[in-house]
Amino acid sequence: MCTDEVGQQARAGTSEREVRERIGRSIRTLRQRRGLTLVRLAALAELSHPFLSQLERGLAWPSMVSLHRIAEALGTTQLELMSMGTADEAADDADADGPSAGRRVSLVRAGGGVLAQNPVGVARSLVSGTRAMYPVLFEGAPTEFGDAFTHPGDEFAFVMTGRIEVEVAGEGLFALGPGDTLYYPGVVPHRWRQLPGPTSRVLLVQESRAPTH
């Protein structure tokens, strides 16, 4: 599932620049882990080398299309990159004791998390760092199907409000309402849209196939 533009983290005290820099560090960290040069990653993601360099240095915002291309080239997902770009608020919590708390415990306060925005809704990451799963809250969605997506790891959707329709290649169309859930492999092409009625709110959880530490 995908929206169009990556927006700033909705958290008091966190600037747009800080969020850009976190996302840039996330991309650079994964690129280096994969042993890729900037030029090679840019070629794999079909992006220009100067633009990717700006992203890594926190000087530009990626669109969700660009983020998807980068994630595919790195063997991960948009949601992991968004989560890695989210501030770990456990480190600021009074009960957090030492730096290990920020690595093992993820705290994202209400209104926190990196936002991805489009004209019809937003997506908000609900966890920080590299984790075994990546929950994201989607509010609003297009009413027409867009391109299908694939990614590593399985995916679970829980509809909180509104109604959506999910298409999973080879499996069919699934109309979901409040309280309904759907689980499917991320490697199978899938896409979704909102059906007529109240604005949809969907909790989406992606599995990570990468090591968490």
Residue that the structure tokens 């990614």 belong to: 151
Identity of residue 66: S
Express each pLDDT in 155-209 by its tens digit. 999 999 999 999 999 999 999 999 999 999 999 999 999 999 999 999 999 988 6
Backbone angles phi, psi at 97, to 5 degrees: -125, 95
Whole-angstrom distance, CA of residue 212 vs CA of residue 18 = 23
Model pLDDT, residue 92 = 47
Model pLDDT, residue 157 = 98
The answer to whether 139 touches 200, Cβ cutoff 8 Å, is: yes
Looking at the chain, the whole-number percentage of residues with pLDDT higher than 90 is 43
Express each pLDDT in 81-90 by its tens digit. 777 766 555 4
Express each pLDDT in 126-140 by its tens digit. 888 778 888 999 999
Mean pLDDT, the chain, rounded, equals 81
Q: Is 54 exposed, middle or buried (0-12, 13-18, 19+ CB in 10 A)?
A: middle
Q: Locate 57 and state its tokens.
A: 């240095």
In b/e form, how buried is each residue of 57-94, taking b as 16+ CB within 10 angstroms? ebebbbebebbbbbbbbbebbbbbbbbbbbbbbbbeee
CATH number of the domain bearing residue 70: 2.60.120.10
pTM: 0.69
Angle at CA 116, nearest 5°, toward 112 and 121?
100
Model pLDDT, residue 4 = 47
Model pLDDT, residue 213 = 38
What's the number of domains the chain is made of? 1
- Across the range 15-30, mean pLDDT stands at 80
Q: For residue 26, give its domain range.
A: 1-213
The answer to whether 174 touches 99, Cβ cutoff 8 Å, is: no
Angle at CA 136, nearest 5°, toward 135 and 141?
145
